[in-house]
């Protein structure tokens, strides 16, 4: 009971910190003129003539919301991997998903520069790259009926990241300077978007996927104790969730 109360306090404090961050961060940033939040929220001034409103709604607020959504998605993915593989080092980075995602996005930038809807092509390439790594890991896990070491899986992910890094360097070498700059800027985590609709479109899939993962929270908690313990406690869903990535610590 004490642990649950302590967890609730921590979650409440983190939620308050998140809300304060989303509220305060858009108030600060470089601008040629003195920024006023009162003027930005003043609806009596036409939007096209209100430079503070343009800065607030097209630059600062979308970036803050976009960063919060990306952090939420990475946190959910990391927690799921750590519970699934029973290892605190299991993250999208150590398992090679970030490398696969980066390679897919950079391939889309390099070969899709002349295509229309490039803004949709890059995230589609990133998703395809990350999903390919997940399928590859699932195929490896499915070949070992008795399971395999978590350390082996993590080392395989690190190896995949190194391999993807080599291909990324090759792509940057073959690209022109402008494309190379865009690739490096994207890999650094650029949030240079100029449309409030992008975080709104991203919100639905991220929240739905997060809710879907949270619906398996009890099964993942039991699975972190081991598949035998999960089956003993009567959670067949935990075994179904973990069977493709069966590991022994």
Of all residues in the chain, what percent carry a pLDDT higher than 90? 7
The confidence score (pLDDT) of residue 243 equals 45
Place 67 in a pLDDT band, splitting at 50, 70 and 90.
confident
Phi, psi angles (nearest 5°) of residue 161: -60, -40
The confidence score (pLDDT) of residue 228 equals 64
Beta-carbon-side half-sphere exposure of residue 175 (alpha carbons within 13 Å): 22
Q: What is the distance between the alpha carbons of residues 105 and 18, in angstroms, rounded to a whole number? A: 29
Beta-carbon-side half-sphere exposure of residue 234 (alpha carbons within 13 Å): 0
pLDDT digit string, tens, across residues 168-209? 999 989 888 888 888 888 888 777 765 677 777 778 888 888
The pLDDT of residue 236 is above 60: no
Neighbouring CB atoms inside 10 A of 228's CB total: 9
The pLDDT of residue 82 is above 60: yes
Structural domains in the chain, CATH included, are 31-248 (1.10.3470.10)
Tokens 């993915």 correspond to: 77
Global pTM exceeds 0.85: no
Phi, psi angles (nearest 5°) of residue 148: -145, 170
């Amino acid at each position: 009971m004490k642990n649950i109360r302590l967890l609730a306090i921590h979650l409440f404090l983190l939620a308050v910190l998140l809300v304060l961050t989303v509220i305060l961060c858009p108030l600060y940033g470089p601008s040629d003129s003195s920024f006023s939040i009162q003027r930005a929220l003043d609806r009596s001034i036409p939007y096209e003539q209100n430079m503070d409103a343009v800065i607030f709604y097209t630059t600062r607020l979308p970036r803050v919301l976009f960063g919060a959504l990306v952090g939420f998605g990475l946190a959910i993915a990391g927690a799921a991997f750590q519970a699934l593989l029973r290892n605190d080092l299991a993250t999208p980075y150590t398992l090679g998903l970030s490398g696969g995602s980066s390679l897919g996005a950079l391939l889309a930038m390099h070969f899709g520069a002349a295509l229309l809807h490039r803004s949709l092509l890059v995230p589609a390439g990133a998703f395809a790259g990350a999903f390919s790594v997940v399928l590859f890991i699932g195929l490896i896990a499915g070949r070992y009926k008795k399971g395999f070491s978590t350390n082996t899986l993590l080392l395989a992910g690190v190896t995949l990241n190194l391999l993807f890094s080599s291909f990324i360097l090759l792509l940057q070498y073959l690209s022109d300077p402008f494309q190379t700059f865009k690739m490096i800027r994207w890999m650094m985590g650029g949030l240079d978007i100029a449309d409030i609709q992008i975080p709104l479109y991203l919100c639905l899939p991220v929240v739905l996927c997060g809710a879907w993962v949270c619906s398996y929270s009890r099964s993942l908690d039991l699975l972190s104790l081991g598949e035998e313990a999960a089956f003993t406690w009567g959670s067949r869903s935990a075994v179904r969730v973990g069977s493709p990535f069966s590991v022994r610590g």
